[in-house]
Amino acid sequence: MREGSVEAPTRHPIDWKSDDFWNRDSLNDELARVYDVCHGCRRCVSLCDSFPTLFDLIDESETLEVDGVDVADYDKVVDQCYMCDLCYLTKCPYVPPHEFNVDFPHLMLRAKAQNFKERGAKTRDKILTSTDALMGGVATIPLVDITANALNKNKTFRKALESTMAIAADAPLPEIHRNTLIKRAKALVKDIAATPVGNTTGKLALYATCYGNYSSPDIGEDFIKVFQHNDVHIDVIPKEKCCGMPKLELGDLDSVQALKEANIPLLASLVDQGYDLTAPIPSCVLMYKQELPLLFPDDADVQKVKAAFYDPFEYLWMRHKGEALKLEFAESLGNIAYQVACHQRVQNIGLKTRDILNLIEDTTVVAHERCSGHDGTYAVKKETRDKSVKIARPTVRKVNDQKPDHFISDCPMAGEHIAHLADGVDSAQHPMTLLRLAYGLS
């Protein structure tokens, strides 16, 4: 038996249609086995709060081992996992192909799925993870978006929201725009001849995402301007549903399947038309690159979409390697603090955002590879708000010490969370926004 694994980690498909997946005794046996492996290692103690919670349960038990922990307390560990995937990809020496076969995030997913099936979820959590209905519903009613944005910044309203819905009063909430990216794109998209470079077709479909469409449509405008400037034909997908990541983290796999059945035929059709695919939010990219292919390994269209989906800066770097990226920049960007989003790190593509921005003269990008603790909902919920702030603290401290000219994150929600907590920056920007600025594009 070898101690630790030196091979690249591999992921097994998630057999969520099997009877064993939904068997509570089988789940508890596997939780006990994996918890025992984690107890003997403890390398992940500095990541999310799942591991300190687990180790405290063990260390405070009568036996000082997993067998001394009440099975009823197993879910205390599960509740703190927001599936950032960092333990699997950056810390754990016992992931497959190691014989211990530890996949902590997907074991947590199995537990969340069983809990959701047996107990459902809080009304608040159902609302927060129904991003299409939540944002789309508000954005379609005249003036309601303005009212909602004003209320979200009103202290009295936020206190009331905290007491009634347990949404933390001091957590920034995303704005909602009635003039969505899909609406704006009609006036921005140009007919540019696609030029293949390397594995890229030069014909790109932008999956706006719920956040990119309703909350930060200006980022999508930056995407269109930058890619068109680099002679890439880019279209914004006119009809889409949520990628399903919020429902996945809730354990609502039936809703994940329903969203998959709405999105995949559309995306697969675009691939058949010669399009590559990208999105402005790393979690949505990861959903199509990893989670859906593991949940539906036998669906040919899911695998087709997976092969065509790229992180945006991964795509630009591939074009750069083929000498197709324009390097004439109008402005330098100076000193940049860069929080690397977890769901981008675990795509195994390297720090392509940093590498692209470092091509700009008189620009230095300092990457901070620590979790923001946001997760979309974890930093918003009252009961986990303080924990999210604690997780973010090392990155906040590094950003404050750096005193950057710009602070960026590929995940707007993670960036806003850090910027809200930091003293050294006023706001977070998307890297594509800075790239547009460097090119001098109006």
Cα–Cα distances (Å) from 364 to 360, 406, 407, in that order, read 9, 10, 12
Per-residue pLDDT, 326: 96
Residue 160 Cα to chain centre, angstroms: 29
pLDDT of residue 174: 85
Question: Can you tell me the distance from the alpha carbon of 395 to that of 401, in angstroms, rounded to the nearest whole number?
Answer: 10
Strands in 406-409's sheet, in edge-to-edge order, are 363-368, 334-339, 406-409
Task: Provide the pLDDT for residue 137.
Answer: 63
What pLDDT shows up at residue 2? Answer: 54
3-class secondary-structure state, position 406: strand
Distance, in Å, from the CA atom of 302 to the CA atom of 320, rounded to the nearest integer, reads: 28
Q: With left for phi above 0 and alpha for psi between -120 and 50, is residue 209 left, alpha or beta?
A: left
CB count within 10 Å of CB 12 equals 12
Distance in angstroms (rounded) separating the CA atoms of residues 111 and 274:
39
Q: Exposure pattern of 41-51 as b/e (b: 16+ CB <10 Å)?
A: beebeebbbbb
Which residue blocks in 193-299 are alpha helix, DSSP H? 210, 217-229, 245-250, 253-272, 282-286, 292-295
Say what the pLDDT of residue 304 is: 98
Q: How far apart are CA 29 and CA 418, in angstroms?
A: 38
Which CATH number does 326-439 carry? 3.40.50
Residues 6+ positions from 115 with CB-CB distance below 8 Å? 75, 78, 251
Report pTM: 0.92
* Token digits of residue 421: 């907590």
What does the pLDDT read at residue 4? Answer: 55
Q: What is the DSSP secondary-structure string of 254-265?
A: HHHHHHHHHHHH
Can you give the pLDDT at residue 179?
Answer: 87
Nearest 5°: phi and psi at 310? -130, 145
Strand partners, 334: 363
> 206 has which bridge partners?
236, 278
pLDDT tens digit at each of 442 positions of the chain? 455 566 778 899 999 999 999 999 999 999 999 999 999 999 999 889 999 999 999 999 999 999 999 999 999 999 999 999 999 988 899 999 988 999 999 999 999 999 999 999 999 888 888 877 666 666 566 666 778 778 888 899 899 989 999 999 999 888 888 888 999 998 999 999 999 999 999 999 999 988 888 889 999 999 999 999 999 999 999 888 999 999 999 999 999 999 999 999 999 999 999 999 999 999 999 999 999 999 999 999 999 999 999 999 999 999 999 999 999 999 999 999 999 999 999 999 999 999 999 999 999 999 999 999 998 889 999 999 999 999 999 999 999 999 999 999 999 999 999 999 999 898 999 999 999 999 999 8
Residue spans per domain, the chain? 20-119, 123-165, 181-318, 326-439
Dig out the tokens for 366 from the structure. 């300092």
Query: 408 has which bridge partners?
Result: 338, 429
